[in-house]
Chain A
């Protein structure tokens, strides 16, 4: 049996259990399955997958979780300490007990996708699958075939959401590896404003497969800060296809923070369709052991006077493998574009590898586009400067590595997120310059 067939069989099993659904959902599911079958899993001869081997997913035998049981104590420890509206999913299944929507302000809808599908809610019929179609990738097609759970967030025009909206995805350790295909749909009305935090975390021993598709629509003047904090267990496989459509004067700020996962691939695509639309991509990835972290980003400047700024930083240790592929496309007649892209990487081990490709495809002349990529080590002069101040070399290296990550983290407004990341990075840094204690002291000091 082919790898693909095993997944299709699982789909058939699941479909047999499903009750009646509206025909449009069944039709999309079918289109997803057909596309997945036609594509097959991507292989390394496909340019987009040149550096990422998904065999570990293709060869896996994943079932679908049927319940959302999770120890409340463990969940509490994993949850970000934030006053927020929260939806929690365990292995892709909605967990009402771990969710808290409190009283949502007027004009804000946050609901599990399953509820929206059940009600055949107007929020899902049109938009679902419009941005991330089944043709985007085999994983997007697979997600569409399996889609049943996830989150729907809708903001009425001019709504400013007072607290962050957190979507928490927990991965459980168990005898059977499971897969989930969450689907997130965000529709932000004109001049609305919100912060969305997506948090992927779980039991340390878990070894599951998450295949996420996210569609985000920003109407005119909408502002969305999107944090994706990916701290999945180190054996988890994590694939995410995120597509953002931006109307005039909208602003999308992404923090794509990848610290966990054994095999990680993020696809981030922005369509800047209206003048004045702005996309800001911040990224940080840290790989150790045999982690593989692949970030692909694409910004389509489809309208004149659109702006994008991208800054990704990677730290790789042991035998970790990092991939960065950033692409900016400026369409013909999209004049007066500013696009800036940079990727800097720090290799801490001789067996770590980074493959980076910052691409520009430009068809208009009145543009200011620049990109840069660097890979290297810490600045020896900076280390020396710290040593002259009585800091030993190991600590100096550790501090500078933290500072390297800090350039991205400094732009994070939410303390709960930045502290969590700093602690994790400090804790992950090789023992030879373990700084966890130092960071704790520093944050305690800051609180006082």
Chain B
């Protein structure tokens, strides 16, 4: 393929680049106890929550930013970030979509996600987060009938304090790591899902959130709890408007699965990756962890990571319950000057625990990508089993792809396998397709999609379509 064409495609503009002009109520930049108290007060939180936040803050002060990842970025000035921004008319929250600020809806339209139609057609309940406050939650009633709680974390703190107190921080403690501590101190919103015993959530739950107000860090906190024999599938997707300044995003997601419970968590992440010189773009430092607390519980992470300037993300599973199962399926695509250090941790604690890791990395442009994973088998994890496959595809000779798989095995009956390959799209593969009349661009597309198939088929239908489209936009024709 002509390299010019390719370059054009690689240099595609960020499609979701626009800024919605909405008045926000924002605190001045800076972080101290007062900021945290302000957030807590704004949210109408009880005292215990403020104390919880302050405890996290004090731990955070003693910590240093991790430097072990294969990432290169200037130090972040945490005092230059504004930690709270909410659409105005806080008291006057819209009760239905009709009441939603039309500009908001317009934003969703631009994203190609007509909220009401899409939600209704796909049977998906959407807890749409615009900046930091949930503005609308749909299908709540239907869920209510089934006994499923699906609301923003702020509402949960207000309405279900005993559940939040029991589970919040039980998977990712406040002092877990630098970014988790920061999140614990200043998180402004996120989702809360509680599926009671024996209930299969009647629909797929989904949150779309966007980062909007300039200079605002976004600190989401998501907590999903499935009681015995409960089941839920949760979809998370994000896009962000184009802007010049780096935005910090430090989310925490906690999943708890009790006996025989099953949680499927899928993510499509397409935040602004920065321009071709690496200017702008989101810094994404996420802590995601699932706790398979019960016997035969099952937690599955699927992610398609195409955006962000910096990605630091390791969705993990603590396999505590006997015969519990953890899964991680990931496609990460980096282009331009993007850097991604992502992977997973599978901690086998209980007997007969099993885990599968499939990671596909595609690096193009001048990007750098690392898979970093840990499989740990404790002495009590008799008969534990892990299979890891991580493949990298390099497109162009200016990118980098790296693999850092840690295995710590302390049980003789464990079986752990790791396989990894790094290669480029084969000339012969391309030639084969072309000899059958398939254009080079389509051929590349097919090959890359085939490369990612193992992961895409784990995605819920609605997401799979979106993911493939995203991938095509990101990489189509980037081969040379």
Q: What residues on A are CB-neighbors of B422 within 8 Å?
A: 360, 362, 367-370
Q: What residues on B are CB-neighbors of A374 within 8 Å?
A: 415-418
Contact status B418-A354, CB under 8 Å: no
| Interface window among A31-39, A232-240, A341-349 | A341-349
Interface residues of A in 343-397 (CB under 8 A from B): 345, 347-377
Interface residues of A in 76-134 (CB under 8 A from B): none
Q: What residues on A are CB-neighbors of B421 within 8 Å?
A: 368-370
- Chain A interface size, as a band, is 35 or more
Measured between C-beta atoms, what is the minimum distance from B459 to chain A in Å?
27
Contact status A360-B420, CB under 8 Å: yes
Q: What residues on A are CB-neighbors of B406 within 8 Å?
A: 355-357
Measured between C-beta atoms, what is the minimum distance from B293 to chain A in Å?
24
Contact status A362-B407, CB under 8 Å: no
Contact status B409-A354, CB under 8 Å: yes
Measured between C-beta atoms, what is the minimum distance from A12 to chain B in Å?
36
With both beta carbons as reference points, the residue of chain B lying nearest to A373 in the complex is identified as B418
Instruction: Check: A44 CB closer than 8 A to any chain B CB.
Output: no
Measured between C-beta atoms, what is the minimum distance from B160 to chain A in Å?
41
Which of A354, A361, A369 contacts B423 (CB under 8 A)? A369
| Interface window among B81-89, B129-137, B284-292, B389-397 | B389-397
Q: What residues on A are CB-neighbors of B396 within 8 Å?
A: 365
Contact status A365-B402, CB under 8 Å: no
Contact status A358-B409, CB under 8 Å: no
Measured between C-beta atoms, what is the minimum distance from B420 to chain A in Å?
5
Given contacts A355-B408, A357-B407, A358-B405, contact A365 B414 (CB under 8 A): no
How many angstroms from the CA of A222 to the CA of B230 in the assembled complex?
66
Contact status A353-B408, CB under 8 Å: yes
Interface string of B396-431 (1 = CB under 8 A from A): 111111111111111111111111111110000000
Given contacts A335-B397, A365-B395, A365-B397, contact A373 B424 (CB under 8 A): no
How many angstroms from the CA of A353 to the CA of B394 in the assembled complex?
34
Contact status B412-A350, CB under 8 Å: yes
Instruction: Check: B73 CB closer than 8 A to any chain A CB.
Output: no
Contact status B407-A365, CB under 8 Å: no
Contact status B404-A377, CB under 8 Å: no
Contact status B404-A359, CB under 8 Å: yes
Instruction: Check: B48 CB closer than 8 A to any chain A CB.
Output: no
Contact status B409-A366, CB under 8 Å: no
Contact status B424-A363, CB under 8 Å: no
Instruction: Check: A9 CB closer than 8 A to any chain B CB.
Output: no
Contact status A363-B420, CB under 8 Å: no
Q: What residues on A are CB-neighbors of B395 within 8 Å?
A: 365
Instruction: Check: A59 CB closer than 8 A to any chain B CB.
Output: no
Q: What residues on A are CB-neighbors of B68 within 8 Å?
A: 47
How many angstroms from the CA of A362 to the CA of B416 in the assembled complex?
24
How many angstroms from the CA of A425 to the CA of B399 in the assembled complex?
45
Which of B392, B412, B420 contacts A347 (CB under 8 A)? B412
Contact status B415-A357, CB under 8 Å: no
Measured between C-beta atoms, what is the minimum distance from A51 to chain B in Å?
8
Q: What residues on A are CB-neighbors of B392 within 8 Å?
A: 360, 362
Contact status A375-B402, CB under 8 Å: no
Instruction: Check: B237 CB closer than 8 A to any chain A CB.
Output: no
Contact status A362-B401, CB under 8 Å: yes
Contact status B397-A375, CB under 8 Å: no
Contact status A345-B409, CB under 8 Å: yes
Contact status A353-B402, CB under 8 Å: no
How many angstroms from the CA of A376 to the CA of B379 in the assembled complex?
14
Measured between C-beta atoms, what is the minimum distance from B382 to chain A in Å?
8
With both beta carbons as reference points, the residue of chain A lying nearest to B404 in the complex is identified as A359
Which of A333, A347, A369, A373 contacts B405 (CB under 8 A)? A373
Contact status B409-A375, CB under 8 Å: yes
Contact status B409-A350, CB under 8 Å: no
Q: What is the interface of chain B mostly: helix, strand, loop, or mixed?
A: strand
Instruction: Check: A14 CB closer than 8 A to any chain B CB.
Output: no
Q: What residues on B are CB-neighbors of A370 within 8 Å?
A: 419-422
Contact status B394-A371, CB under 8 Å: no
With both beta carbons as reference points, the residue of chain A lying nearest to B370 in the complex is identified as A361
How many angstroms from the CA of A353 to the CA of B408 in the assembled complex?
7
Q: What residues on B are CB-neighbors of A335 within 8 Å?
A: 397
Q: What residues on B are CB-neighbors of A359 within 8 Å?
A: 402-405
Contact status B397-A372, CB under 8 Å: no
Instruction: Check: A43 CB closer than 8 A to any chain B CB.
Output: no
Q: What residues on A are CB-neighbors of B408 within 8 Å?
A: 51, 353-355
Given contacts A350-B412, A368-B423, contact A361 B405 (CB under 8 A): no
How many angstroms from the CA of A426 to the CA of B68 in the assembled complex?
41
Which of A357, A362, A372 contacts B394 (CB under 8 A)? A362
Interface residues of B in 245-274 (CB under 8 A from A): none
Which of B397, B400, B416, B424 contacts A361 (CB under 8 A)? B400
Q: What residues on B are CB-neighbors of A367 within 8 Å?
A: 394, 422-424
Contact status B404-A357, CB under 8 Å: yes
Contact status A350-B411, CB under 8 Å: yes
How many angstroms from the CA of A335 to the CA of B345 in the assembled complex?
32
Contact status B409-A361, CB under 8 Å: no
Which of B397, B401, B412 contacts A352 (CB under 8 A)? B412
With both beta carbons as reference points, the residue of chain A lying nearest to B393 in the complex is identified as A365
Contact status A333-B397, CB under 8 Å: yes
How many angstroms from the CA of A125 to the CA of B411 in the assembled complex?
50
Instruction: Check: A420 CB closer than 8 A to any chain B CB.
Output: no
Instruction: Check: A332 CB closer than 8 A to any chain B CB.
Output: yes
Q: What residues on B are CB-neighbors of A376 within 8 Å?
A: 414-417
Measured between C-beta atoms, what is the minimum distance from B370 to chain A in Å?
8
Measured between C-beta atoms, what is the minimum distance from B425 to chain A in Å?
9
Contact status B415-A377, CB under 8 Å: yes
Interface string of A145-164 (1 = CB under 8 A from B): 00000000000000000000
Contact status A372-B419, CB under 8 Å: yes
Measured between C-beta atoms, what is the minimum distance from A293 to chain B in Å?
14
Contact status A365-B394, CB under 8 Å: yes
Contact status A347-B411, CB under 8 Å: yes
Contact status A364-B397, CB under 8 Å: yes
Contact status B409-A360, CB under 8 Å: no
Contact status B414-A366, CB under 8 Å: no
Which of A350, A361, A375 contacts B407 (CB under 8 A)? A375
Interface string of A327-341 (1 = CB under 8 A from B): 000001101000000
Q: What residues on A are CB-neighbors of B394 within 8 Å?
A: 362, 364-365, 367
With both beta carbons as reference points, the residue of chain A lying nearest to B422 in the complex is identified as A369
How many angstroms from the CA of A357 to the CA of B395 in the assembled complex?
25
Contact status A353-B409, CB under 8 Å: yes
Measured between C-beta atoms, what is the minimum distance from B350 to chain A in Å?
15
How many angstroms from the CA of A363 to the CA of B401 in the assembled complex?
7
Residue among B379, B411, B413, B422 having the largest count of chain A Cβ atoms under 10 Å: B422
How many angstroms from the CA of A377 to the CA of B412 in the assembled complex?
7
Given contacts A370-B422, A372-B420, contact A360 B403 (CB under 8 A): yes
How many angstroms from the CA of A362 to the CA of B420 in the assembled complex?
13
Which of A348, A364, A375 contacts B416 (CB under 8 A)? A375
Please give 20 more A-B residue pairs, beta carbons under 8 A apart, in addition to A347-B411, A356-B409, A363-B400.
Answer: A332-B398, A350-B411, A350-B413, A357-B405, A359-B404, A363-B399, A364-B394, A365-B394, A365-B397, A367-B423, A370-B419, A370-B420, A372-B417, A373-B407, A373-B416, A374-B415, A374-B416, A375-B415, A376-B414, A376-B416
Query: Can you report 20 residue pairs joining A to B where beta carbons are below 8 Å apart?
Result: A332-B398, A345-B409, A347-B412, A350-B410, A350-B412, A353-B409, A355-B407, A355-B409, A359-B405, A360-B401, A361-B400, A368-B421, A368-B423, A369-B421, A372-B417, A372-B419, A373-B417, A374-B415, A375-B407, A377-B412
Chain B interface (Cβ < 8 Å from any Cβ of A):
68, 379, 392, 394-424
A-B pairs with the 7 shortest C-beta distances?
A347-B412, A365-B394, A376-B415, A369-B422, A373-B418, A360-B403, A353-B410
